[in-house]
Amino acid sequence: MDVEQLLRGANLRVTRPRVAVLHALHDSPHADTGTVIEAVRGRHTSVSHQAVYDCLHALTDAGLVRRIQPTGSVARYELSLDDNHHHAVCRVCGSITDVACATGEAPCLHAADPKGFAVDEAEVIYWGLCPNCQEPTATQNEKGRR
C-alpha cells in the first residue's frame, strides 16, 4: 500500500502521523481510536493523542478512511477501499467483520420510497454471534438439554 500516493491523491500533505494512522488501519481493520493511538505511538512515540484524532478526522473527510459506529459501540475505523461491503457485529464480544454487499448494485439496497432523497450509499450492519461466541452458547444449550 503506497500511503504517500493515497494522501497526495486526496490532496492531503504527507505527514508522519497520517502515514502511521493509515498503516495502523491497514494492519488492524475496524480499529477503535485507542488501538490506532497505540499502534501509531508504537511507530512514533512523540505523536499526541490529539494528532491521531485530527488525522482520523482529516482522513475520514478525505474519503480515505471509513468511520463505522454500530449501536452501543465506540467508533471504529477502516481504510475506505471502495469495495462496497457491509459489516457483521457480534452481540457478545463486539468483534466486527466485513461481509459482501447484500444484493444488487451499489448502493446495495434500493429504498422502496426514499422520500425524495437521491440515495448514493446504504449502510447495512448484520448482528449476531461470531464463531468464537457461538461455541460457548452451543455448549451451554447442550448442557441445558441433558
Average pLDDT over residues 119-142: 77
Does the pTM of the predicted model rise above 0.85?
A: no
Would you state the pLDDT for residue 118? 87
Mean of the per-residue pLDDT values of the chain:
86
Q: Does domain 83-146 have CATH number 3.30.1490.190?
A: yes
Q: At what angle do helices 16-27 and 49-61 cross, to 10 degrees?
A: 80
| Res. 3: pLDDT tops 80 | yes
Q: What span, in angstroms and rounded, lies between the C-alpha atoms of 111 and 145?
A: 43
pLDDT higher than 60, residue 142: no
> Is pLDDT of 140 > 80?
no
Buried b (16+ CB within 10 A) or exposed e, 120-129: eebeeeeeeb
Which residues, in sequence order, are bridge partners of residue 57? none
Q: If you average pLDDT over residues 103-117, what whole number do you get?
A: 71
Residue 79 pairs in a beta bridge with 65
For residue 112, the model assigns a pLDDT of 74
* pLDDT at residue number 80: 81
pLDDT at 73: 86
Q: 83-146: same fold as 1-82?
A: no
> Cell 501509531 appears where?
40
User: What pLDDT, in 10s, does the model give residues 6-37?
Assistant: 999 999 999 999 999 999 999 999 999 999 99
Rounded to whole angstroms, how far apart are CA atoms 4 and 146? 60
pLDDT over threshold 70, residue 144: no
Amino acid at site 42:
G
Please provide the CATH number assigned to the domain covering 1-82.
1.10.10.10
Domain positions in the chain: 1-82, 83-146
